[in-house]
């Protein structure tokens, strides 16, 4: 993983809520360099697409809106 936590299998086995909170506190005081550089250069993460509800999806295909 890009955040330095290891592969997903390792995260599932070893990453507990207390460990997550400890990492979050540490990163809050000492952010990863990649985040500081991106902020300095004005690079912002891409916006994730918004999830549409089923009614909106059906409306796109002419199925009308479900209430």
Range of the domain at 41: 1-45
Give the number of domains in the chain. 1
- Asked if residue 59 is part of any domain, the answer here is no
- Asked if residue 35 is part of any domain, the answer here is yes
Residue partners of 8: CB distance under 8 A and separation at least 6: 1
> According to the model, what pLDDT value does residue 1 have?
46
- Better-scored residue on pLDDT, 30 or 59: 30
> What is the band of 41 on the pLDDT scale with cuts at 50, 70, 90?
very high
- Asked if residue 56 is part of any domain, the answer here is no
> What is the band of 58 on the pLDDT scale with cuts at 50, 70, 90?
confident
Is residue 4 exposed (0-12), middle (13-18) or buried (19+ Cβ within 10 Å)? exposed
| Rounded Cα–Cα distance for residues 37 and 45 (Å) | 13
Q: Is the pLDDT of residue 60 over 50?
A: yes
- Asked if residue 65 is part of any domain, the answer here is no
| Rounded Cα–Cα distance for residues 23 and 15 (Å) | 10
- Asked if residue 2 is part of any domain, the answer here is yes
- Asked if residue 21 is part of any domain, the answer here is yes
């Amino acid at each position: 993983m890009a955040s330095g936590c290891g592969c997903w299998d390792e995260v599932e086995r070893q990453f507990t809520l207390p460990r997550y909170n400890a990492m979050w506190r540490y990163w809050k005081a000492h952010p990863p360099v990649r985040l500081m550089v991106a902020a300095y250069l004005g690079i912002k993460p891409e916006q994730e697409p918004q999830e549409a509800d089923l009614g909106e999806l059906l409306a796109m295909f002419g199925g009308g809106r479900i209430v």
